[in-house]
Amino acid sequence: MAEDDRSRWDRRWAEQRDQPRSVPSWVAELESEIPRTGRGLDVAAGSGRMAVYLARRGLEMTAVDISPVGLALCREAARDEGLTIKTLVRDLETEGLPEGAWSVIACFHYRQPDLFQHLDRALTPGGVVIAEVETKRALERQPQRPGARWLAEPNELLRITHGLEVVYYREGWIGERSLARIIARRPA
């Protein structure tokens, strides 16, 4: 399965080189909640939009993804801005998160509940997780895509970020997508 995923994402990133580099507006509105120093981890980083944003803010960033093509785009975007981002090709389903304590962990459009259940231990005291995933309500409008495996149950992000203080949470139809968004902090 991992090799199929890697090939699929490599093709997607090779075809879609011009990805947006701006941070999602909801994250920008809450940037005062996000640390500016320490180590950051962008999980399932793809072309590195969040990794670049967090590096720009002053974090020492690591971007993790199954796709070497996506991570090459991440490094290219970082170089364009005079930033350095460490990239790590990794199958998160079999290898889990990289070791370390992180001030920020970002995870956008990747759902792996068992991974989220360990975020509280992977964060430094006062560290935050920023996440956005599509929810199962998406099947109401697009019954064929994406696969249900990748879609969160109602309030799933709230349940699986146990041990963390919720700073921001929103779930529902946002534009044409059914999304759950969270910023949660490990108590200091």
Q: What is the pLDDT of residues 78-96, one digit of tens each?
A: 999 999 999 999 998 899 8
Angle between helices 49-56 and 68-80 (to 10 degrees): 30
- Ranges 10-24, 32-46, 51-65, 120-134: which has the least confidence: 10-24
Q: CB under 8 Å to 83, separation ≥6 — which residues? A: 52, 55, 56, 61
The DSSP call for residue 151 is S
Residue that is written with structure tokens 């720009």 in the block: 56
Please state whether the predicted TM-score (pTM) of the whole model is above 0.85.
yes
91 token code pair: 């199958």
Q: In the sheet that 102-108 helps form, which strands lie side by side, from edge to edge? A: 85-89, 60-65, 39-43, 102-108, 123-134, 177-185, 165-174
Higher pLDDT, 188 or 130: 130
Alpha helices, H only, the chain: 2-15, 25-29, 49-56, 68-80, 92-95, 113-116, 119-122, 156-160
Q: What is the pLDDT of residues 40-71, one digit of tens each?
A: 999 999 899 999 999 999 999 999 999 999 99
Instruction: Please calculate the CA angle 143-145-147 and round it to the nearest 5 degrees.
Output: 100
pLDDT band at 15 (very low <50, low <70, confident <90, very high): low
Burial class (CB in 10 A: 0-12, 13-18, 19+), 144: exposed
Third-level CATH fold of 2-185: Rossmann fold (3.40.50)
Identify the pLDDT of residue 4: 67
Residue ranges per domain, the chain?
2-185
